[in-house]
Amino acid sequence: MAATYAEAAAEALDNPPHETNVPQNKVPADQLEKLKKDAKDVTDDAIKKVKEASEDLKKELNELEKEGKSLWAKFISSVESAASSLKSSLSDAGATVQSTASSALTTTSKELQNPVVLIQALVGAGGIAAGYLVATERHRIDFDNKVVVGVHAAVITGLVLLDGYLFNTYYPKYDKKTL
């Protein structure tokens, strides 16, 4: 027996143990050839199936690409149609606005030749200016005093009634449309 651990290890390497019960896995030559042939057939069959699947996939992708192009063309056509429709609608609306504005301008220019209408416009502008002044000076006006509110209401009512009377009396006399 070995005296040291190193000597025991060296002796074990020089004399490996012999096992007699290890099975030998040797395949006979005819069976080996049959296994090789079967493996080649399975491999060839798998390659053939992969190629067929690849061809089918390519065909399917081409069809999807064509359908995609078709759908894209339909979408573009739809957008172009909608844009054309919107353009014609806006054009028609613009023409309507233009004719209405032109008609309103013509009517306004004829009406402003009547002095009664011109005076009404000036009184209206004065009323707007007075309303603006009241709005800016409202902190100084005592709206709690009923006399102040009553005077303002009476002045406004009197001006509206006077305007109505003068309009009904003098407007037909100066109307350019009836001449």
**Interval 77-93: pLDDT, tens:** 888 888 988 999 999 99
Looking at the fold, whether 77 and 94 belong to one and the same domain comes out as: yes
Looking at the fold, whether 97 and 169 belong to one and the same domain comes out as: no
Looking at the fold, whether 82 and 46 belong to one and the same domain comes out as: yes
Looking at the fold, whether 74 and 132 belong to one and the same domain comes out as: no
Higher pLDDT, 151 or 9: 151
How far, in Å, CA of 153 to CA of 160, rounded?
A: 11
What is the pTM for the complete model shown?
A: 0.39
Residue 21 covered by a domain? no
Looking at the fold, whether 80 and 140 belong to one and the same domain comes out as: no
Looking at the fold, whether 101 and 151 belong to one and the same domain comes out as: no
Residue 142 covered by a domain? yes
Domain end among 92, 109, 126: 109
Residue 17 covered by a domain? no
Q: How confident is the model at residue 159 (pLDDT cuts 50, 70, 90)?
A: confident
Domain end among 109, 127, 159: 109
- Domain hosting 52: range is 27-109
Q: How far is CA 89 from CA 84, 95, 97, 118, in A?
A: 9, 10, 12, 37
Tokens encoding 160: 């509206």
